[in-house]
Amino acid sequence: MNILAIDTSSLVATVAVINEEKLLGEYTINTPMTHSQKLMPIIDELMKQLDLKMDDIDLIAVSRGPGSFTGIRIGVATAKGLAHPNNIPIIGISSLEGLASNIPFSEYLICPIMDARRNQVYTGVYKWEENKLNNIVEEAPLTIKELTDILLKRKEKVIFLGDGLNRYGKDIIDKFKDKAILAPQYISMQRASSIGQLAFNKVKNGDAKLKSYLDIVPVYLRKSEAERQYEEKMKRCLCDEES
């Protein structure tokens, strides 16, 4: 089974192809260029270097969020566009779970944090148990204080990773002291190979069913800035009418 994996949930654009035996290839670009500029070129280049066509792909795994609203939409839309001609099934994988799986078989808690702005991070807490990565604190947008209150109740050390470290890394060290471990940068960002491996494992273990590309939707965890501004505007209009 050849799996094309895509993650555009952050500034990083990353694409990989894996099968049941090995990682065939992976491209990762962490630049300010938009995903609309860099995603398809790296997919095309990777497929060319591997001498593969979309006919050779059996499954597409895509990060469904949370993360950058625009990035997630581009990644999911691209996956659907690639799947459509050959009706390739798609599986959506949490971007936070993908990040957490960058750190395999650790005895510590793993806490990915992605900068969600508005003084929040997208986060969840994961733990390896019997060689399986389990989500033990539900994914949600939280403030660092809310996350700290949850984690400091537990005895285990915590490995933090994700682009939220750029903004909150110092605060985390100040609050957690030697109970916190900040992951090095090379594993602290999204990797499509992790998305692909998670998809393969979930299908193999029966934890997820293959879906039509028509059924895959992004997961944002909260409303977009445009939606919030629209709702606030509508509330003001209603108040003006009532007054």
Q: Which of 171, 102, 173, 94 is nearest to 140 (CA)?
A: 94
**Rounded distance between C-alpha atoms, residue 112 and residue 96, angstroms:** 6
219 exposure class (CB count in 10 Å sphere: 0-12, 13-18, 19+): middle
Q: CA dihedral defined by 163, 166, 170, 173, rounded to 10 degrees?
A: 20
Q: Which of 86, 78, 22 is nearest to 59 (CA)?
A: 86
pLDDT in tens, 37-73: 999 999 999 999 999 999 999 999 999 999 999 999 9
Taken as a whole, the chain contains a residue count of 243
Partner residues linked to 16 by β-bridges: 5, 26
Hey, what are 3's tokens? 């799996």
pLDDT in tens, 108-155: 999 999 999 999 999 999 999 999 999 999 999 999 999 999 999 999
pLDDT in tens, 7-18: 999 999 999 999
Q: Where does CATH 3.30.420.40 sit in the chain?
A: 3-95+191-231, 103-187
- The pLDDT of residue 234 is 47
Hey, what are 60's tokens? 């597409």
**Rounded distance between C-alpha atoms, residue 63 and residue 231, angstroms:** 28
Pick the CATH number of 103-187 from 3.90.550.10, 3.90.470.10, 3.40.50.620, 3.30.420.40: 3.30.420.40
Q: Which backbone phi and psi does 206 adopt, to 5 degrees?
A: 75, 20
Quickly state the pLDDT bin for 161 (edges 50, 70, 90): very high
Q: What does pLDDT average to over the chain?
A: 91
Q: Which CATH architecture has domain 3-95+191-231?
A: 2-Layer Sandwich (3.30)
Q: Where are the alpha helices (DSSP H) in 84-191?
A: 95-100, 144-151, 165-176
Decide: 17 and 50 in contact? Cβ < 8 Å.
yes
